[in-house]
């Protein structure tokens, strides 16, 4: 396993744990705040889904040639950016209010979408 693979596994595992914890926090600590609870749950769903996607990238990497792995690495970094920007913004919005930097959640959404496109490109560029 290469170092980038270890990074993805560690990041995926930590994000999975955080997503579970935020789900519990949303259910208990935010029960009286339905909007905040919804933001936390949505952020956690996207965070968990993309944590699992990072694990899938590691599983796919050995099956691809170098050209495919380059696009796969890009997908991984875009998923990481999406988690930080999209989920992070929703967590902040639910707990401290709007961030001083506008459009961070949409930027995270774009990162997620571009990550999935990069994953598709990795399959197209994979060795025969």
Taken in order 113, 45, 103, 101, is the CA torsion positive or negative?
Answer: negative
| Residue/partner pairs of 24-30 with CB below 8 Å, 24 or more apart | 30/94
The pLDDT value recorded for residue 128 is: 60
Domain ranges of the chain: 3-125
The pLDDT value recorded for residue 86 is: 97
Quick one: tokens of 29? Answer: 């600590």
Residue whose tokens read 């935020």: 22
pTM over 0.85: yes
pLDDT band (50, 70, 90) for residue 126: confident
| Residue among 3, 106, 126, 8 at smallest CA distance from 59 | 8
pLDDT digits (tens, 9 = 90+) for 67-111: 888 999 999 999 999 999 999 999 999 999 888 898 999 999 999
Q: Answer whether residue 127 shows pLDDT above 80.
A: no
């Amino acid at each position: 396993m290469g170092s980038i693979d270890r990074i993805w596994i560690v990041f995926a595992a930590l994000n999975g744990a955080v997503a579970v914890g935020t789900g519990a926090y949303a259910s208990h600590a935010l029960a009286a705040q339905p909007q905040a609870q919804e933001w936390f749950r949505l952020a956690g769903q996207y965070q968990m889904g993309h944590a699992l996607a990072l694990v899938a990238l590691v599983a796919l990497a050995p099956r691809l040639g170098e050209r495919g792995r380059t696009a796969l690495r890009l997908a991984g970094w875009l998923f990481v950016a999406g988690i930080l920007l999209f989920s992070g913004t929703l967590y902040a919005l639910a707990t401290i209010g709007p961030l001083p930097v506008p459009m961070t959640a949409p930027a995270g959404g774009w990162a997620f979408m571009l990550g999935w496109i990069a994953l598709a490109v990795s399959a197209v560029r994979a060795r025969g």
